[in-house]
Structure 1
């Protein structure tokens, strides 16, 4: 667990002796963290990952609200992969899964560069960044990035940055380099192969660049190739996996 994921209860476990030895600046920082974490709790935010094996994402002690199911967790440590391919139906929680993965990559790699790519510029902005399950809504208050729409850029407190791209404009990805990328709704990219190739050519920073793909499945050549790729970790899911968290009207109309 990283520092940005500490709960008020965990911060409260710091011993009085340790607090007494802390410099004033550190005490003020802890006070600020507690205030930010309290804001998240008041807003009903729950830590996304938990350590309960096979957790189905339902509320339980320590996680008093919906959180990551087992099939929304990234590949386990020790698994070698270049692409995490999440194939799932609408309402599964693909956007939330991708957003959580993206900000955690920024947290784990201070000063890193990430690529956020949606089918169109509006999709990247409205879903990956500003959406109800996007990065701004998912990242904790203690690690919320500064969003500069005019620069198509997110900047995190630790110096990590993420740039926004449109799969409709693949040449914009020709020059920039990245440590990782989040590609959303790959099957809806109109210039699919070209945009994917440009994204891959920019994955050349760090020891092991990785891409998280969240998409509704379609029998397209690139999707089929990724499924067969030995360095692609494939996760599959359906709308039914997240049915308990979807609006009753959606359940009636779709199911």
Structure 2
């Protein structure tokens, strides 16, 4: 995690000598602990995997549904998002937590495919269970590093939208380099977004919101959907999450940013 922070850096195909052997899968046909393995360089990551207990219901969903609706981000193949979602427009969501809001958005918009990425195993199982109970067919769950997905597994101009809701703010100054929304990430995402695609970010951490607004406004591949610039009101399609409600109870102000991928 201490190497090149540039998400566009070239991948290395050889394993590092002396690297620890990969951890065994807890669920034989489920998400892998380190799906990309040694295929890609070690770099500063914007996420920190959380270790928490998988409930029996989540474990059951992972065992039964992961082979149907889940996949590992291994960087070894190119996906066809349109085929994956039977011709639907596809939106990528990076970081879905326990998946409640993601499932609500998928149910409210069945004509849009949602490709949801996270590394939290309980959340993956929870989202799969929610999708099954709601009868959703427009949702797929990806396990691993979204940077590798963007860089190595998605064709150019294959996404109709990108959502990054409440990413880790990494509040300490020395950790700001770990924040996901950086110019390099935006350039990488621009390559897989179609012209006109919507990039939607939300955060309740004021300094991070300011940074997001600054880097998005300055980036030539994006334009604010608000004519006068600034933050957007929360759109109706983004549900109010439990996490968000807890933050608002503490006096946190939530900022939404809606930017459009422009064609240059």
The normalised TM-score by structure 1 is: 0.34
Larger Rg: 1
Larger RCO (CA under 8 A, 6+ residues apart): 1
Report which of the two has the higher share of helix.
1
